[in-house]
Structure formats: C-alpha cells, structure tokens
Amino acid sequence: MILIRHGQSEFNAHHDRTGRDPGIPDPRLTSLGRRQVTDAATRLKDHPTPLKRVLTSPYTRAIETAEIVARILDLPIEVEPLVHERAFYQCDIGSPRSHLAQTWPALAFEHLPEKWWPDLDETHEQVEERCVNFQARAAAMPDWPHVVVASHWAFILQLTGHSAQNAELVPFDPTRPRRVSKTG
C-alpha cells in the first residue's frame, strides 16, 4: 500500500508563509500542489507492484490529489472517510456530502453522513482509533499491496510515525504491527 499526502493546498501555502490559520474551510490544491502530485503519480507508473485503485479522504485537497493519481495511472477512486485529517484547523472543516456529490458526480458518497467531518477538537485518541480501524480494514483487503491512499499529514504521521511532505509517497504494510505514540 502506498500512502500519498495531498499536494500543497491553499491552507498550506498561507500557513507555511505566515504560521497562521488562514481560515479556509476545505481548501483546494494550489498549482504547485497539482504539480507535486503529478510528479509523484508519474513516479508511481514505475512502481514494482501494479496499482489497481485509489482510496481517498473526503476532503477536497485529497480528492483532487486522488483525481490526478487516478488519471495518470488509469485507476478507479473510492472515498474512505477513515483516512481524513485530524480535525484541528479551519481547513479541516469539510464540505457537506451533497456538495461533494455534486462536485464529483462520478464518485460514491452515499456512505457518508451529510456532515462527515468531526468537530475541530479531535483528540489524539480519536485519531488513533481511526488508524486502528483503517489498518484492520486495510489488512483485510486482498488487494492492499495494489492500493494508493490519498490522505493527510496528521493521519499519515499517526499511522506510520513518518512526517510526510506534500505529495510524498509513503509505503505502508497494514499487516505489520505499528509503534503507537502515547502523546498527541
């Protein structure tokens, strides 16, 4: 399984310059973010294991990342809410299911509630619970070595212990035990 952190978002561009939350709910990718993901997806063309599908967080920046990967690799996309970002900043306020379904009519969102994201005080323990649930679900997927997952910094960090850069590719074997951090 390959995890990919979404490319640079409008939030990332502002926060990296100022250190402040710009207050942008569910931001889109920047042009740099799209180039970052295009470069990463192009590298995946040479991946030794054939890739068969993309799972994505329901946040816009992750769906846009998944779209680029899917287009370049000719893969289907599935929405997986367990891999969403830790809800902390304004960018972690998602778009309602009905808006997502209207924006991306080819994707299935029926399994999401209208407001699928948590409040902005999601705890370390809550993220850990999602990581445990995702790992169990991923380990049960017969095709897990052939899956790309478009996700986010805090989720990837908690799942793997690795602080991923925008559009970084992170290998993940869901059948191996994780080292769990006790701090948030």
97 belongs to an annotated ligand binding site: no
152 annotated ligand-binding residue: no
In this structure, the chain runs to a length of 184
Number of other residues whose CB lies within 10 A of the CB of residue 45: 9
33 is in an annotated binding site: no
5 is in an annotated binding site: yes
60 among the known binding-site residues? Answer: no
Task: Check: CB of residue 85 under 8 Å from CB of residue 155.
Answer: yes
Distance CA 93, CA 89 (A): 8
Distance, CA of 55 to CA of 79 (rounded, Å): 6
- 38 among annotated binding-site residues: no
Within a 10 A sphere around the Cβ of 181, how many other Cβ atoms?
11
Q: What is the largest CA-CA distance in the chain?
A: 44
Strands (E), 51-168: 53-56, 77-79, 147-151
Evaluated on CA atoms 120, 10, 84, 163, the torsion sign reads negative
Residue 6 marked ligand-binding: yes
Residue 163 in 3-state DSSP? Answer: coil
The binding site for substrate comprises 5-12, 18-19, 61
The binding site comprises 5-12, 18-19, 61
